Structure 1
Amino acid sequence: MNLRGCSAQILAHVLNDGQSLTAALEHGLPKIKDVKDRAFVQALCYGVIRHYYALDFMLGRLLSKPLKQKDGDIKALLLIGLYQLQHMRVKSHAAVSETVAATSHKPWAKSLVNAILRQYLREAETLQQACAADTQAHYNHPNWIVDVLKHDWPEHYEKILHANDQAPPMALRVNLLQGNRAAYLDELAAQGIAAQPVDCCETAIRLDQALAVEQLPAFSQGRVSVQDSAAQLAAELLDAQPGQQVLDLCAAPGGKTAAILEHQPALGGLLAVDVDQQRLQRVTDNLQRLNLQAETLAADASQSGSWAGDRQFDRILLDAPCSGFGVIRRHPDIKLLRRADDIAALQALQTKILDNAWQLLKPGGILLYATCSVLKQENEEQIAAFLARHSNASEIHIEAHWGMSRPHGRQIITGDRQMDGFYYAKLYKAP
């Protein structure tokens, strides 16, 4: 099995068909039996997508004419070859020969791939200088994303763009119902797994090196879950009290649902709602592993009248659908698949869900609005507009030593304290 060829097939689904990298990998990786081979293919795919705009720019310089649409697999192979030569510790002769060998299904492409990769080796310095002079290639993002981040964060956009291109750290959430963080850090150390506590969140641990969850002590028994430190802040901010009814909207895959239950085991009840039945199954699976109980419901959060009836809740977490611009380092395909006109549509959907959620909140209750975005129109501007529409809403200021206080809510910039980009705003409903 040629691993470069397998990687090219996976990448073609993303580049040609608009499939998410996660979905393409879930389809392609099970065909590869060896664990190390799967890891290599995954590293190639993530690497190419993460560095796509620079690689594509150089490939455009190297090709005398663009490849045909039907030869997307050959383009993917060329990008794989360039990525290996520029970013991986693969010997250049092996990278070239193995990438060329993956063209066996299209013999005409053998000489082309060989020539392009060898030309890159001769002209690498010149090509990289050309990349540095091109905005899209230099920042490794489409121009429209560079522009919107520069508009929102003129002092921080370069930091955000750079953080987006780094592999993210692996963070864990310790289940405090089954033991404390210090004890779990000791267990990790005993197994030679280097890790650090995250000072802004009592449940968070950051590993020095990512590893398979099967290697984590007592993972299957629910001692820990994988969740970025920024996302873990939600449970503490929501501050659910014993006996309260909690609604978790847009809940899948269930990390925050579980964190709320771990944070407050004496709830009166928790309803986790998500529009996607398949993704909702992941909520159920996570809760089963952690031995936690919640009600789950596949329903549209923007149409609460059809499923909520007269139910009301003391606490609501709305993890709103968003651009995902705070988690590009985890999902680099966002740079390729997201479109500029998606943002206004997402903003309109957030507005609708937020207004619907407000009707489900009891007077005296608290709604926590969250996104994994760094865009102001999805975050602080969304909350400013909400407060202007609802006279019975007021904001509870979030005091914290993480992120930055904004006119409304609190924003974490991608990479700050090694966390994902995240936004929180806490809203109180007057009695």
Structure 2
Amino acid sequence: MSRGGGRAEPGAASRACAARAVAAVLGAGATLDAALGAPDLQQLAPADRSQARALAYGALRWHHRHRRLLALLLDRPLPGRDRLLEALLSVGLFQLLDERQPDYAAVSATVAATRLLGRPRLAGVVNASLRRLQRERAQLLAEALADEQARSSHPAWLIARLRRDWPGDWPRILEAAQQSPPLWLRVNQTRLAPEAGLARLREAGIEAAPGPVPGALRLARALPVADIPGFAAGEFSVQDAASQLAAPLLGASPGMRVLDACAAPGGKACHVLEQAGGDLDLLALDADDARLGRVRENLARLALPATTLRADATTPAAWWDGQPFDRILLDAPCSGTGVIRRHPDIKILRRETDIGPMARRQRQLLEALWPLLRPGGRLLYATCSILHEENDDVVAGFLADHTEAAAAEPPAGTLPGWLRCTRHAGWQALPGEADTDGLYYALMTRRTG
């Protein structure tokens, strides 16, 4: 659908771009961040680009609900599992069901997007589906939301895992994962005190409040980093408040030799350096060269010294110089189930069959890196998962098999009251508590003698 002179209807381009991004996740297994880097989206005007991102995130955040609605709305299943049509309909449903999205032109612009997507014959299906939802919204929603997957907009396997692992918390965890996350900043306390950082933001008209971790500031609304005063100069970094617990828990003192084994994108490594005034011999390791580039960019922006190296942390014989480390940070690759509110595509991309191999990989990393720790040194194991199989079970199994390893007491004053003690060894931040992401930490020490 277009207007006179072939000009596309306003809003059609942003919806088409959002649908392509969602389809890349549903059909090609792309991450949403990667899909949103497509050239067509980058060519949109800033306001349209922002709208496309919001629509893509919203469509995926609620896609399990939308799938159930589509089963009710369509007379027959989507042809050939047509991911692009499914994605466009999901974008349209999100607009009509989310109170924050203006729906006065949602249907017409979504229908018009079929032409931009090269699928004009689907305009009738899209129009009929969205118009029917407008007419029969209450009845259709009541029927769809009787299904637990649709109601929570999570896959059945993950609901079952959370119910088992967190029997008293799982409904709230599911609800928290459906919320849009805030933007958290970390004040670079080598440059200014947290109070001065807060004042700096407020002077610029940016509403912010202190967080549950010293130096963490929560913005009332998200902003591009280019609009944050002092960001380019290294006064602030973007980092979730729960992630800001890693550096104080690790407790690296000036002069220590430190390894950050899976360092990208570098937020934790930079924070560790900031807390020691930059006076560390720190090696930031990552297996992905592109992601390691992010670490270098952050170190340069903050003017912090570190050695960066592209290498596989599971094969230290290929890169370790034989000198032991005083502190090791292992932020292990994981399911990401604690950061679903930031990455709703995790609910689509992750499978239950992924969890066992991930836990084995995490144990492999621990086994490979433990010999690099000096006696009396400390290793901090961290994930952004909330599943016991990747967290407590990995650490408990490791401690049981290594008599020279022991759970360590955290440095005084580093554990906030909202952090949960786990069954065996470690602490868990659940999503939404203190408005943070869900992260797990376990601190271990290598016995001396």
| 1:58 equivalenced with 2:75 (yes/no) | no
| 1:318 equivalenced with 2:330 (yes/no) | yes
| 1:403 equivalenced with 2:415 (yes/no) | no
- Contact 2:254–2:279 (8 Å) recurs in 1: yes
TM-score calculated relative to the size of structure 2: 0.93
Which residue in 2 is equivalent to 1:385?
397
For each residue in 1:225-277, what CA deviation from the matched residue of structure 2 results, as whole angstroms up to 9, or x when unmatched?
00000001111111101211000011000000100110102534000011111
For each residue in 1:337-371, what CA deviation from the matched residue of structure 2 results, as whole angstroms up to 9, or x when unmatched?
00111000000000000011111000110001111
Q: How many residues of Structure 1 are paired with residues of Structure 2 in the alignment?
A: 430
In structure 2, runs of 5+ residues without a counterpart are 1-7
Measured in 2, the distance between the counterparts of 1:38 and 1:274 equals 31
Paired letter, 2:194: R
For each residue in 1:81-104, what CA deviation from the matched residue of structure 2 results, as whole angstroms up to 9, or x when unmatched?
111011154454411111111112
Q: Shift of residue 327 of structure 1?
A: 0.4
Specify which of 107, 113, 117 is matched with residue 96 of structure 1. 107
Paired letter, 2:305: Q
Measured in 2, the distance between the counterparts of 1:255 and 1:36 equals 29
Which residue in 2 is equivalent to 1:289?
301
Q: Shift of residue 30 of structure 1?
A: 5.0
Paired letter, 1:44: L
Residue 106 of structure 2 aligns to a residue whose secondary structure is helix
| 1:299 equivalenced with 2:315 (yes/no) | no
Measured in 1, the distance between the counterparts of 2:444 and 2:198 equals 35
For each residue in 1:50-78, what CA deviation from the matched residue of structure 2 results, as whole angstroms up to 9, or x when unmatched?
00100111011101111224732222111
| 1:24 equivalenced with 2:35 (yes/no) | yes
1:39–1:266 Cα change, 3 Å: closer
Specify which of 406, 411, 414 is matched with residue 431 of structure 2. 414
Which residue in 2 is equivalent to 1:72?
83
| 1:137 equivalenced with 2:153 (yes/no) | no
Which residue in 1 is equivalent to 2:140?
127
Paired letter, 2:15: R
Q: Percent identity, please.
A: 45
1:86–1:204 Cα change, 3 Å: same
| 1:214 equivalenced with 2:215 (yes/no) | no
Measured in 2, the distance between the counterparts of 1:84 and 1:378 equals 36
| 1:430 equivalenced with 2:443 (yes/no) | no
Which residue in 1 is equivalent to 2:385?
373
CA RMSD of aligned residues (A): 1.4
Measured in 1, the distance between the counterparts of 2:202 and 2:372 equals 45
Measured in 2, the distance between the counterparts of 1:429 and 1:90 equals 54
Measured in 2, the distance between the counterparts of 1:122 and 1:357 equals 60
Q: Shift of residue 402 of structure 1?
A: 3.1
| 1:5 equivalenced with 2:16 (yes/no) | yes
- Contact 1:243–1:266 (8 Å) recurs in 2: no
- Contact 2:17–2:41 (8 Å) recurs in 1: no
Residue 302 of structure 1 aligns to a residue whose secondary structure is coil
For each residue in 1:268-290, what CA deviation from the matched residue of structure 2 results, as whole angstroms up to 9, or x when unmatched?
40000111111001000111111
- Contact 1:238–1:366 (8 Å) recurs in 2: yes
Specify which of 108, 123, 131 is matched with residue 118 of structure 1. 131
- Contact 2:14–2:44 (8 Å) recurs in 1: no
Measured in 1, the distance between the counterparts of 2:40 and 2:327 equals 40
Measured in 2, the distance between the counterparts of 1:400 and 1:122 equals 49
Specify which of 332, 335, 341 is matched with residue 329 of structure 1. 341
| 1:198 equivalenced with 2:211 (yes/no) | yes
Paired letter, 1:411: Q
Larger deviation, residues 31-40 vs 335-344:
31-40
Which residue in 2 is equivalent to 1:175?
188
Which residue in 1 is equivalent to 2:5?
none
Q: Shift of residue 423 of structure 1?
A: 0.8
TM-score calculated relative to the size of structure 1: 0.97
Residue 172 of structure 1 aligns to a residue whose secondary structure is strand
1:70–1:415 Cα change, 3 Å: closer
Residue 424 of structure 1 aligns to a residue whose secondary structure is strand
Measured in 1, the distance between the counterparts of 2:49 and 2:22 equals 14
Measured in 1, the distance between the counterparts of 2:280 and 2:90 equals 53
In structure 1, runs of 5+ residues without a counterpart are none
| 1:86 equivalenced with 2:100 (yes/no) | no
Q: Shift of residue 32 of structure 1?
A: 2.9
Which residue in 2 is equivalent to 1:226?
238
